[in-house]
């Protein structure tokens, strides 16, 4: 592959640009798979999805079919969902509970700890043939942080703890919303496609610059429902937070919320019945975590990107979202709602309503974002004539606001480093 300059990172000229070819050249995707998805820690699932011995879920992670499960002894695994005999999927169900996985092709059967336990006609194999070597293959690395499990196909990669770097602080802010530290993926999965390059969704996921022009319908809905939203005269929502790099390509926007949060900040659309529940949770957070941290959780929201393709939106609800490219201009997106395991039915009702209202595929925000990214992808087909996108917003400032673009630049610097081996001098 011809190595072309992908970014311009020039602090002296206060300039940062990204070549639009990174969204439109099909051959770049193979390089991304090799240097990014095959070498970075990739989110596979949450411990709450496999709580009981024998529980499993199957999903595609970084282009591979994966069985994420808890075996009969209680150990969590991530197996490659492929028979060691002739390659067929050994589990074709989306989720369930079982002691064994049986390949329907030739009936090879495996324990839920990966061992081979039954092979029809085993005595037909040559002397010395060892079925114990034919078990399910585990991913090279599987590690977790506070219930979030990640895998890595590079056995020599740094530890997950080192990789997450500053992102751990923001995962802590999510998990600490539970009195017991037990968060759970709420039953139900959102799956949808976008006809756009996967990196556009990274940009969009923590880009507050687009909120007013793209999501004005939602802001009008809040205002009409009695929420105090000071809509700007122009097309830019006043900045109410910061953008922050977290190391290793991770970044976050951390904002003072202008809307409610089901966890601890009531607003009229939640209904009067939810008000005492939310106010009680607010008090609990402060009592347990202290005024500063408790109010930080109650009064701020965060959009966290863990490089390369995990987004956790901790705002009107908590959304865990991953996405993976099918081709250079097509991605598949998967999202789940996350919440404290012990929360009351009323709190859960408000959480799910907020989740669907804003983040759902049929909600206020997601259809807007899908349309925005798909028309951007169409426009980028003119990349040979209009080559560069400018991401210099806020580059001259020491403190980066949530409407600036340091978080986008953080992603692109890491992406460029992995793709080219080059580091760039910029920091803002």
> What pLDDT shows up at residue 258?
60
Q: What does the pLDDT average to over 338-350?
A: 92
Please state the separation of Cα 66 from the chain's center in Å. 17
Please state the separation of Cα 227 from the chain's center in Å. 29
Report CA Rg, the chain. 23
* Confidence class for position 272, pLDDT limits 50, 70, 90: confident
> What pLDDT shows up at residue 219?
74
**pLDDT exceeds cutoff 70 at 230:** no
Q: Which of 10, 403, 73 is nearest to 232 (CA)?
A: 403
* Confidence class for position 354, pLDDT limits 50, 70, 90: confident
**pLDDT exceeds cutoff 90 at 113:** yes
Please give the share of the chain, as a percent, with pLDDT higher than 90: 73
> What pLDDT shows up at residue 3?
46
> What pLDDT shows up at residue 235?
63
**pLDDT exceeds cutoff 80 at 143:** yes
> What pLDDT shows up at residue 232?
63
Only one residue has tokens 């490659």, namely: 80
> What is the distance between the alpha carbons of residues 37 and 325, in angstroms, rounded to a whole number?
10
Q: What does the pLDDT average to over 108-125?
A: 96
Q: Summarize pLDDT for 366-397 with one digit per residue, the tens.
A: 899 999 999 999 999 999 999 999 999 999 98
* Confidence class for position 234, pLDDT limits 50, 70, 90: low
Residue count of the chain: 428
Mean pLDDT of the chain: 92
* Confidence class for position 299, pLDDT limits 50, 70, 90: confident
Q: Summarize pLDDT for 172-191 with one digit per residue, the tens.
A: 999 999 999 999 999 889 99
Q: Summarize pLDDT for 46-86 with one digit per residue, the tens.
A: 999 999 999 999 999 999 999 999 999 999 999 999 999 99
Residue 36 CB contacts under 8 Å (≥ 6 apart), including other chains: 308, 415, 418, 419
Q: Which of 124, 142, 51 is nearest to 85 (CA)?
A: 124
Q: What does the pLDDT average to over 94-103?
A: 97
What domains sit in the chain, N to C, each tagged with a CATH number? 42-160 (2.102.10.10), 176-420 (3.90.380.10)
Residue 236 CB contacts under 8 Å (≥ 6 apart), including other chains: 209, 212, 403
**pLDDT exceeds cutoff 50 at 2:** no
> What pLDDT shows up at residue 369?
92
Range among 117-121, 232-236, 402-406 rated most confident: 117-121
Cβ atoms of 218 and 364 closer than 8 Å: yes
Q: In 3-state terms, what secondary structure has residue 385?
A: coil
């Amino acid at each position: 592959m011809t190595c072309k300059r992908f970014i311009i990172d020039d602090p002296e000229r206060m300039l940062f640009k990204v070549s639009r070819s990174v969204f439109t050249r099909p051959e770049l995707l193979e390089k991304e798979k090799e240097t990014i998805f095959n070498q970075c820690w990739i989110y596979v699932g949450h411990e709450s999805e496999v709580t009981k011995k024998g529980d499993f879920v199957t999903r595609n992670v970084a282009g591979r079919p994966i069985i994420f499960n808890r075996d009969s002894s209680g150990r969590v695994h991530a197996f490659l969902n492929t028979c060691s005999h002739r390659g067929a999927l050994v589990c074709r169900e989306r989720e369930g509970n079982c002691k064994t996985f049986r390949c329907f092709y030739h009936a090879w059967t495996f324990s839920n700890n990966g061992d081979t336990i039954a092979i029809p006609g085993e005595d037909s194999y040559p002397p010395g043939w060892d079925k114990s070597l034919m078990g399910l293959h585990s991913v090279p690395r599987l590690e977790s942080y506070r219930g979030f499990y990640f895998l890595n196909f590079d056995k020599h990669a740094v530890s997950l703890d080192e990789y997450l770097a500053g992102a751990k602080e923001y995962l802590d802010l999510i998990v600490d919303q539970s009195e017991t530290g037990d968060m759970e993926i709420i039953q139900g999965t959102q799956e949808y496609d976008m006809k756009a390059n996967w990196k556009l969704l990274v940009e969009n996921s923590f880009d507050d610059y687009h909120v007013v022009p793209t999501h004005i319908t939602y802001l009008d809905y809040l205002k009409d429902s009695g929420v105090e939203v000071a809509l700007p005269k122009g097309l830019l929502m006043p900045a109410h937070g910061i953008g922050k790099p977290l190391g290793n390509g991770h970044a976050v926007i951390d904002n003072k919320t202008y809307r409610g949060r089901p966890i601890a900040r009531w607003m009229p659309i939640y209904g009067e019945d939810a008000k005492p529940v939310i106010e009680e949770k607010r008090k609990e957070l402060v009592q347990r975590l202290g005024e500063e941290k408790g109010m930080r959780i109650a009064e701020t929201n965060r959009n966290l990107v863990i490089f390369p393709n995990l987004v956790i939106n901790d705002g009107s609800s908590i959304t865990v979202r991953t996405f993976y490219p099918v081709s250079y201009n097509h991605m598949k997106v998967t999202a789940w709602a996350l919440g404290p395991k012990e929360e009351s039915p009323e709190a859960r009702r408000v959480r799910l309503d907020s989740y669907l209202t804003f983040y759902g595929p049929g909600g206020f925000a997601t259809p807007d974002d899908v349309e925005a990214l798909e028309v951007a992808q169409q426009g980028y087909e003119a990349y040979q004539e209009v080559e560069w996108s400018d991401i210099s917003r806020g580059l001259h400032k020491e403190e980066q606001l949530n409407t600036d673009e340091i978080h986008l630049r953080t992603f692109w610097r890491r992406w460029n480093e992995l793709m080219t081996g080059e580091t760039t001098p910029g920091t803002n």
